[in-house]
Amino acid sequence: MTQQRDKAEEYFYVGKVKVIKNPVEADHRALSKEFIKYLLLSGFYQESKDEPYFRATYDRNDNEYIWRSDAATHAMIEPYINRKFNTTTNRKRNRQGL
């Protein structure tokens, strides 16, 4: 039986972008709420409502990393994760050849 965690394994910053390693459901909800609040306050809600609330990538050990989608692209975050954890990341979980 897998034990559920109450909090993410780790938080770190890439510049000003908060990245969450192995988030729990509460982290997904919190990032989504932050993003919606940003859209509503900025007046861009209608134009951006189809934008994903957060971006995710996975490393070769199946660790998940998430960050707000408006804060950075994969190309901005993945190289930092690769260096910090000596790994290879990809947007798809369990991809062959990772």
pTM score > 0.85 for this model?
Answer: no
Q: Average pLDDT, stretch 51-77?
A: 92
Alpha helices in the chain (DSSP H): 25-42, 45-48, 74-85
Q: What is the distance between the alpha carbons of residues 23 and 11, in angstroms, rounded to a whole number? A: 9
Question: Does any domain span residue 19?
Answer: yes
**Number of folded domains in the chain?**
1
The whole-number pLDDT of residue 70 equals 86
CA-based radius of gyration for the chain: 14
pLDDT at position 77 is 97
Note whether residue 46 is domain-resident. yes
For residue 40 the two structure tokens come to 């509503």
Q: Show the domain range for 37.
A: 13-90
Residue-wise pLDDT tens digits, 12-57: 999 999 999 999 999 989 988 888 887 778 776 555 566 778 899 9
Q: What DSSP designation does 61 have? A: T
